[in-house]
Amino acid sequence: MAKILVALSGGVDSSVAALRLLEAGHSVSTAYIRTWLNEEMPLADCPAQQDIEDSRAVAKQLKLDYEIVNLVNEYREKVVHYLIEGYRKGQTPNPDTMCNREMKFGIFQDYALRNGFDAIATGHYVQKLKNPDGSYDLYEGIDSNKDQSYFLALLNQKQIDRAEFPIGHLTKSEVRTLAKKHKLPNAEKKDSQGICFLGNMNINRFLEHYIEDQPGPIINHLGRVVGEHRGLHRYTIGQRRGIGVPSNTDHQAYVVTQLDFPNNALHVAFDQAEAPLLYASEVILEGLHYTHCSLSKKTELLTKPRYRDSLQKAQFIPIDEQRARICFENPQRALARGQILALYQSDTYNGQSHRLLGGGHYTEITPTISAPTQNHV
């Protein structure tokens, strides 16, 4: 049996992960990863103290060792800085994916290995399969509504090798049932939403403290100036709310189609299939990471443009080790630079048919004006 350090978040998923490993006979210890101090941003609403209390109570209930691992400085450098600089450059960063790669399965995993643990475990809804050659693959979680494989798209084989995902074969309702059966104190706790350290704070309010507003024109699809924006970092492609410009047309609303940084202009159009720049047929993917084997030739595969999107068919055309061209079978709506594209392949395992291959972030996006068709894998 292995010696495993479970990253308790204070939520029910990681708590049941610890429970399952304990029931399987492993030597289990627990740790809460501290990543934020509210004193650094008084307006933020990170529920860290409540999470610490909840995770400590779970460890006590299960009679497991518990510690707090302080990674505040590392989180600021690896995740918060990445978030701020991404918005400063007009990108749409994904802090959850970066936190997994750099923090949980990076710095925290290294901490565990240095302290004599064989692996770490988390409450992610993803399945891990050991291949005959000793390597590992990740598959979608059994619960398709909770599957979190997308957020692990930037992990590498070494990180996966020393990680366990004890609840990937369970549904959310089954996790809740187990938590209640074993009287875990957070069995009824609601799932966390959004970026932890922001809590209920709007992302724009947070960015105000780091990025100065630079107002500029809002230009519609006819080339007319229809208003003024406060700063391009406040917007992302596909955004409808908060633009501040009425369309003056019944049943039609403006949507952001371009952040024009050279001219400090925000471009908008009606949210329609033919809206200029809103749909893309090709993208350049950079910063490629592979969970197992790299892709070195043109390949037909499946992609997930965003976490809640359905899988989309596409061609993967490698440019070099770090870049690839992605050609979608059907145009995709509102892709933004900096977002993560996860790569999958059809391959059935334990009720799921999609194996995670890796992922990267959008850097160049080729728009199309052809109307998209419905395509769900």
pLDDT (tens digit per residue) in 142-177: 999 999 999 999 999 999 999 999 999 999 999 999
The C-alpha atoms of residue 140 and residue 343 are separated, in whole angstroms, by 12
Neighbouring C-alpha atoms within 13 Å toward the C-beta of 283:
29
Residue ranges of domains in the chain: 3-122+173-198, 214-270, 279-368
What is the CATH architecture of 214-270? Answer: Roll (2.30)
CATH for 3-122+173-198 is 3.40.50.620
Q: How many CB atoms lie within 10 A of CB 321?
A: 10
Mean pLDDT by 10 residues, the chain (377 residues): 96 97 98 76 65 96 97 93 94 94 97 98 97 96 95 98 98 97 95 65 83 96 94 94 80 90 95 88 97 95 96 97 97 95 87 89 85 50
* Domain 279-368 superfamily per CATH: Translation factors (2.40.30.10)
- Strand arrangement of the beta sheet that strand 216-219 belongs to: 225-229, 216-219, 265-270, 254-260
pLDDT (tens digit per residue) in 267-290: 999 988 888 899 999 999 999 999
State the catalytic residues: 99, 196
CA nearest neighbour of 10 among 40, 41, 34: 34
Would residue 311 be called left, alpha or beta, if left means φ above 0 and alpha means ψ between -120 and 50 degrees? beta
